[in-house]
Amino acid sequence: MNEQITKLNRRDFIKISAFTGGGLVLGFNVLSSCSPERGDGVIHDLNAFVKIDTNGMVTLMNPNPEIGQGVKTSLPMLVAEELDVDWKDVKVEQAGLDTEKYKRQVAGGSGSVRESWESFREAGATARQLLINAAAAEWSVSPNTCYTERGMVVHKATGKKIGYGQLVEKAATMEVPTDVNIKPIQSFAIIGKRIPNVDNRAIVTGQYKYGIDTKREGMRYATLVRPPAFGQTLKSFDDAEAKKQPGVEQVIRIDNKIAVLGRSTWEVMQGAKKIQAEWEDGESMESTADYQRNFKEVLSRRPTETPQRKDGDVQRAFSGGAKVFEAMYEAPFLAHNTMEPMNFFAHVRPDGAELYGPIQTPEGTRTRVAKLLDMPEGKVTVMMTRMGGGFGRRLMSDFVEEAVLVSNAAGVPVNLIWSREDDMGGGYYRPMCTYQYKAAVDTDNKLIAWQHHSVGVTGNSARAGSFPAGAVPNLQVNAHEYKSPVTTAPWRGPIHNFIAFSEQSFIDEIAHAIAKDPVAFRLEVLEQAKQHPIGKVEYDPDRFAGVIKKVAEMAGWGTSKGANVYQGIAAQYSFNSYVAQVAELVKQDDGKLKIKKIYCAVDCGIVVNKSGAENVVEGGIIDGIGHAMYPELTLTKGKPDQVNFNTYHMIQMREVPEIEIQFIESDINPTGLGEPGLPPAGPAVANAAFAATGVRLRAQPFIKSGIFA
């Protein structure tokens, strides 16, 4: 009853204050004190993104999957900005897959904000205009004579005010305006602020549910016994011991794997360990050394594929170039290692299927599952949970399909959970690859030719437009795909995560060889792209140069940083954003190197959420250092040598350097941010290592070089 009285009182109060024009400040206090949990009014939908209840509480829907990149906060910020509400009055809900209401429900390609920038703001502005129209109708005035002010519509001439909560019922029935105004950048009140993640409170108290936490009535936990090596097939198995494990209820063969179902995660995992399976090797059971050797063999031949890009004539330029340079860079396989291993809830019934869990690509997943079950897509529902990391791994839907097959075969709802060993050992990986470069400068030390020839396990390719493409008159890019049973997938900053290392190291090699400052040389090459662009130039040379100059200034590039301190620079344009980093290394008394600090300048256009942006770039830098420095996934006859964290070195707090980040002030539409922070970190460290020791790092992980502490 108390709630009811409070509600009535508040509504009356708002009405009174609206009519008298007084008590506005107090009115706002009442609104602000209302926590999102207390919204107890009747909820009305204004569109697919905006719901407002009759108490003025605003619910914004986040359609995109949240993998830790922060979209569940940043996307609703776009809507709230244009809706003109106080962020304190907003709660955010995760939407499930709904292709009629939403476009591009994907977490990938650093595209969420970039692709939603206009449409989400329009959704907010449209709802706002509806509320204005409702107020104008209420007051019998023209909508043009009204404006909004943080959750209220105001009549200009009289100062009359009315809260959104009181308008929403009427607004929801009115014709949706098609031509709405969006705010000029200068009047942003939410975009550009530091807004903490909307789920934080539930996270620190352990209440937030991830996919792996899903438990339903009648549900069984399931895990799969998988081939220990890539390319193997299941010959036979004995499940007698597994069935003796308390808690294990069913063992079912699912194609090339064996499903163990039971009442708890631990019990089914114990059961799975007790399955005696016999596996048959496939045709190709290669080890890491085989790949390395075969890659080099491919690169020793002339490329046979059609070039991905061809400007001018590299061969002629090489024969006429004053100086020619060559280098080869090698990248190992890497596991994604999301902290939350692959898992998914599936309930397959005769009349449909319910899917619930962590997935970056719900739409494509639904299509594949519908096909798998021979069911119309409309019978398959997908709800995305917050994910314990994605990094590209959850763009794949193999684990969802597995859950579907197990639920279908066992006739029960299942939560299929991979063990860490399954997760790290079962693919999908960042493709292993080797990149070979050749370049030439003329007698004036101008970069005139650049050749990229690479080979990588299927899934890897080149980025044909990557810098210095567009700046060099003679350029050719050839990429060869090497067939392998090892499954690969995009891995945070796909291709950029390694091509930035190879290109930015090779540019550095050339600069040193012709005695030019590495920063000055990059700026000079960018100036070539600006003055004499060759073919398509994907990046804006001025913005690219802007981050390089900025980071050089931040780092005090070219000035003495003290004895035993060395710097290296790298910059990469990826996902429409520009990131430059300077790594600062210290040479210890024993001659070993330690990474002391990373300076980073970012141009991603308008920054939507300062806190989230800084966080994801900082994480990207450390992730980039971690994976360039420490781990590799090697194979022995197709079998992964590393299947848990004891042999796969993930960066930890002790290895994290100091980090300083600056964003370039901009009024350009926002671009990608989940991935661009990562690619320059490795090459910046490698280039600083060269400055310190004269040792050129051409293979990851760097730790194997022996020059680091």
Q: Which residues bind another protein (CB under 8 A)?
A: 67-70, 194, 196-197, 199-201, 203-210, 212-213, 215, 221, 246-247, 263-267, 269, 337-341, 386-391, 417, 419-421, 611-612, 615-616, 618-623, 626, 644-646, 650-654, 656, 659
**Shortest distance (Å) from residue 653 CB to another protein:** 5
**Shortest distance (Å) from residue 283 CB to another protein:** 33
With 0-12 / 13-18 / 19 or more C-beta atoms within 10 angstroms meaning exposed / middle / buried, residue 704 is middle
Q: Which of 158/652 has CB closer to another protein?
A: 652
Residue pair 598/619 in contact (Cβ under 8 Å)? The answer is no
For residue 285, count other CB atoms closer than 10 A to its CB: 17
**Shortest distance (Å) from residue 266 CB to another protein:** 3
The CA-atom distances, in angstroms, between 540 and each of 187, 252, 442, 519 are 27, 56, 25, 17
**Shortest distance (Å) from residue 415 CB to another protein:** 10
Handedness of CA 83, 87, 89, 94 (dihedral sign): positive
**Shortest distance (Å) from residue 39 CB to another protein:** 20
Q: Which of 381/611 has CB closer to another protein?
A: 611
Q: How far is the C-alpha of 79 from the C-alpha of 89, rounded, in Å?
A: 13
Q: Which of 291/418 has CB closer to another protein?
A: 418
Q: Which two tokens stand for residue 379?
A: 């019978």
**Shortest distance (Å) from residue 337 CB to another protein:** 6
Q: How far is the C-alpha of 39 from the C-alpha of 50, rounded, in Å?
A: 14
Q: How far is the C-alpha of 673 from the C-alpha of 576, rounded, in Å?
A: 9
**Shortest distance (Å) from residue 633 CB to another protein:** 15
Q: Which of 126/360 has CB closer to another protein?
A: 360
Q: Which of 194/316 has CB closer to another protein?
A: 194
Q: Which of 165/631 has CB closer to another protein?
A: 631
**Shortest distance (Å) from residue 272 CB to another protein:** 12
Residue whose structure tokens are 């600069």: 511
For residue 535, count other CB atoms closer than 10 A to its CB: 16
**Shortest distance (Å) from residue 250 CB to another protein:** 17
The answer for residues whose C-beta is within 8 angstroms of residue 11's C-beta and 6 or more apart is 54, 55, 165, 166
Three-state SS string over 623-673 comes to: HHHHHHHCCCECEECCEECCCCCCCCCCCCHHHCCEEEEEECCCCCCCCCC
Q: Which of 221/521 has CB closer to another protein?
A: 221
**Shortest distance (Å) from residue 671 CB to another protein:** 19
**Shortest distance (Å) from residue 597 CB to another protein:** 12
Q: Which of 214/250 has CB closer to another protein?
A: 214
Q: Which of 163/494 has CB closer to another protein?
A: 494
Alpha-carbon torsion, ordered 392, 398, 403, 406, to 10 deg: -160
Q: What is the DSSP string of 43-81?
A: EEESSSSEEEETTS-EEEEE-S--SSSSHHHHHHHHHHH
Residue 381 Cα to chain centre, angstroms: 24
Q: How far is the C-alpha of 505 from the C-alpha of 327, rounded, in Å?
A: 10
Q: Which of 196/411 has CB closer to another protein?
A: 196
- Which candidate, 202, 509, 214, places its Cα nearest to that of 385? 214
Q: What is the DSSP string of 311-340?
A: ES-HHHHHHH-SEEEEEEEEE-BEE---SS
Q: List the beta bridge partners of residue 578.
A: 573, 603
Q: Which of 416/449 has CB closer to another protein?
A: 416
**Shortest distance (Å) from residue 489 CB to another protein:** 16
The CA-atom distances, in angstroms, between 501 and each of 258, 383, 457, 461 are 40, 37, 18, 15
Residue whose structure tokens are 């002030």: 665
**Shortest distance (Å) from residue 79 CB to another protein:** 20
Q: Which of 205/300 has CB closer to another protein?
A: 205
Rg (CA), the chain: 29
Q: Which two tokens stand for residue 682?
A: 């490795």
Q: Which of 363/421 has CB closer to another protein?
A: 421
Q: List the beta bridge partners of residue 457.
A: 482
Q: Which of 456/624 has CB closer to another protein?
A: 624
Q: Which of 336/347 has CB closer to another protein?
A: 336
Residue whose structure tokens are 């539409």: 669
Q: Which of 449/661 has CB closer to another protein?
A: 661
For residue 33, count other CB atoms closer than 10 A to its CB: 10
Q: What phi and psi, each to the nearest 5 degrees, are found at residue 400?
A: -70, -45
**Shortest distance (Å) from residue 618 CB to another protein:** 6
Q: How far is the C-alpha of 254 from the C-alpha of 543, rounded, in Å?
A: 52
Q: How far is the C-alpha of 264 from the C-alpha of 632, rounded, in Å?
A: 32
**Shortest distance (Å) from residue 608 CB to another protein:** 14
Q: What phi and psi, each to the nearest 5 degrees, are found at residue 539?
A: -105, 160
**Shortest distance (Å) from residue 69 CB to another protein:** 7
